[in-house]
Amino acid sequence: MKTLSTSLSHGGVQGVYSHASETCNCEMTFAVFVPPQAKDGKLPVLWYLSGLTCTHQNVMDKGEYRKLAAELGVIVVCPDTSPRGEDVADEPDNWQFGKGAGFYVDATQEPYAKHYKMYSYITEELPALIAKEFPADMDRQGIFGHSMGGHGALTIALKHPERFKSVSAFAPIFEPSTAGWSRPALEKYLGADEASWRPYDTVALIREGKSFPEILIDQGTADSFLDEGLRPWLLEEAVKGTQTKLTLNMREGYDHSYYFISTFMDDHLRWHAARLG
């Protein structure tokens, strides 16, 4: 692991790091905020997965999470959204696919299968590195994210309820297998057989019996992607009659931006901290 930068913030340390990823076959960059309580022992870990076009940097600059994370004593890990590098297959003119748009899946189709293994990277390789290099209590993990990252957080939590004690999302893509802006990406990464998409679809997972005790969602009513790409009512319908308790906050007048995310970031941090202990 290489340390690219460290800065003191609210008594803790905001760092940016990179490492040679065997999973993604390229150099991967990620950010970690370690609060001041780390001097006394291991702390719970909260994963934040970013959305389309983003890197680890967006939430660092705009998410406004460090002050409260420092007060609560929670480590915040912010991975990148896709593999990077000159030899990584990409569609430079398509912001919904390729670099910045890994969709947190393990690609099976060429030429993407060599690098686009974001699901395994987030669930296996990077957690092992975090456990080794940081004062992280891996028995107390939560996960959240925004948009494409919200989709990733929900699907990962549903498939690993024994690992995560909490999950939430800002304006996530709930059913990417039927959303116009995600269907083409899933087909390119996973192939034309839509059955292979279902493990990466929150609504499909719940309909197949996957569950999580509680889910917190914040969604802006002025989000330009609400009707076409996000559609929170699909999750509302899917959890009816299940053991999953959904808290869905429709925030009047808010859009899809980090102005929205930063406004409700504290609510999500407190939600996770209460469940992480």
- Catalytically active residues are 147, 223, 256
Rounded to an integer, what distance in angstroms lies between the CA atom of residue 173 and that of residue 223?
12
CA-based nearest residue to 230, from 239, 240, 221, 242: 221
Give the list of residues 6+ apart from residue 273 with CB closer than 8 angstroms, or none: 44, 72, 73, 74
SS3 250: strand
The alpha-helical segments, DSSP class H, found in the chain are 57-62, 66-72, 118-120, 126-133, 148-159, 183-190, 202-207, 233-239, 258-276
Nearest to 121 by CA among 233, 24, 260: 24
- Residue 241: C-alpha distances to residues 202, 211, 245 (Å): 16, 11, 10
Contact 244, 214 (CB under 8 A): yes
Q: What phi and psi, each to the nearest 5 degrees, are found at residue 269? A: -60, -40
**Spatial separation of the C-alpha atoms in residues 44 and 244, rounded to whole Å:** 23
Q: Say if CB 68 and CB 266 are below 8 A apart.
A: yes
CB distance 47 to 157 below 8 Å:
no
Q: Which residues pair with 18 in a beta bridge?
A: 2, 29
Which amino acid appears at position 141 of this protein?
Q
